[in-house]
Amino acid sequence: MNIGFIGLGIMGSGMARNLVDKGFEVVVWNRTASRMDPLAAAGAARGASPEDVASRCDIVMVCVSDSPDVREVVMGERGLLEGLREGALVVDHSTISPSVTLEMAEAVRARGADWLDAPVSGGSEGAARGTLAVMVGGDSSQLERVRPFIDSYASTIGHVGPTGAGQTVKLVNQILVVVTGLAVSEGLLFAQGAGLDLRSTLCAVEGGAAGSWMLSNRGPQMIERDWRPGFTIDLQQKDLRLVLETADELGIPLPATALVFQLYRALQRQGIGSEGNHALVKALEGIAGFEVGGRAE
């Protein structure tokens, strides 16, 4: 069985590489064609377009940036709808609007195929190591059909409800990620200002009630002032826009998430949107007048 994979960015490249390394026959496509080169060298076949990928594959995975990108891949010129086989399955690993997910699923089902929304969490490290968490909405029997392939790049696969539920759960995930990231930033800023050894402090607290993935994985990067992205500020900000739009539709207040959105916006204005989302600490450093890992005045 050929597996199609569309979108070879910061997450998709690692996911597709794991499929190839596990011995599956993979057909890849990316808008920037040069990103296909490493996968082709590893044994993947090149697709000419999303339509071409869909015409050659029974399962097509998509991992692109935003709702308009998914709509273009699915419904645009030479989009996968034009080549989709009857009985095929589209698995969307992008993080997009739940309402757009329902629209895309309806269009795919009208062609006799099916759709799973299956956004992922775990950063580029998780994509490369095969340890992502996947939140799946849609028909549970379709998940079982594709589970052996998702197992290539995920250690946790959760079926969370009908179509659209996967995207909504991913927004829950992003609320928890960014608010925890704010707490890690404030904690390290406080420790720095108090003159504590930051690494000893992190080691002392991460095993207790304050422990979290963000603290253990992004805290050391903040201390080392390593801003390489597992997930960029720009992408995180896109997800927070989706969170706040959905919360507005539901009439739900999210004050802490809204604060992080504004802090990230300030960092984008400084031109650092391509840095890792843990650079959130820089917004607090600007207020405090000193840097984590630097010298407190």
Which contiguous run of DSSP H or E holds residue 49?
A: none
Alpha-carbon gap, residue 92 to 117, rounded angstroms: 5
Question: What's the CA gap between 215 and 207, in Å, rounded?
Answer: 10
22 is an active site residue: no
Inter-helix orientation angle 213-224/198-206, to 10°: 180
Phi, psi of 259 (to 5 degrees): -65, -45
Structure tokens at 64: 């692109």
- Is there a contact between 272 and 282 (Cβ–Cβ < 8 Å)? yes
Which residue, 227, 58, 70, 80, is CA-closest to 145?
Answer: 58
Q: Which of 22, 170, 238, 282 is catalytic?
A: 170
Of 165, 120, 121, 115, residue with least CA distance to 143? 115
Yes or no: say if 230 and 124 are a contact pair by the CB < 8 Å rule. yes
Q: Just list the catalytic residues.
A: 170
